[in-house]
Amino acid sequence: MLDRYNTVISGSTALELVHPTGLVPRNLDFVCPNQEADALCSFLISKRYIPIADTAVFPLIIDDVPGQNCIESVRKLRHSVTGALIHVIVSTSSSALAPIFSAHSTIVMNFVSANGFYCCYPMLTEK
């Protein structure tokens, strides 16, 4: 799936792989290119995930404004049986990595691709 939709896993799941703490992530964050978002969400819906409407909380902070940090939008889906939560983070570009390298902190600049997992700043992440 990661390869098919040019998508990577980021967030707490990726961080737990590169810097294990024993904490269990509460959701799964996928980051995908803007042109793959609809296809990825359709695939997840076919696997019994249901889109969750997102309500804005005002005032918006910079991370909530579309286009900031190379994030076009965030789509949330919940599994109809297990309740598992997925965030689909849609990049403003054709690269899923743009939002990761535009993140607010080096500690979250980690990702899992179809080929392996990566830590962009291993020395800083360890501290």
Query: Which pLDDT band holds residue 83 (cuts at 50, 70, 90)?
Result: very high
The owner of tokens 């042109």 is 35
**29/90 Cα distance (integer angstroms):** 10
Confidence of residue 61 (pLDDT cuts 50, 70, 90): low
Considering the domain delimited by 8-126, tell me its CATH architecture: 2-Layer Sandwich (3.30)
Residues 6+ apart with CB under 8 A from 53: none
| Residue 70: Cβ within 10 Å count | 20
The pLDDT score that the predictor gives to residue 107 is 83
* Buried/exposed 2-33: b ≥16 CB within 10 Å, e otherwise: beebbbbbbbbbbbebbeeeeeeeeebbbbbb
| Domains of the chain, residue spans | 8-126
- By CB neighbour count within 10 A (0-12 exposed, 13-18 middle, 19+ buried), where does 106 fall? middle
pLDDT, one tens digit per residue, over 85-111 is 999 999 999 999 999 999 888 888 999
Tokens of 22: 């024993």
Q: Which residue matches tokens 């939560």?
A: 85
pLDDT band of 56, cuts 50, 70, 90: low
99's tokens: 């939002």
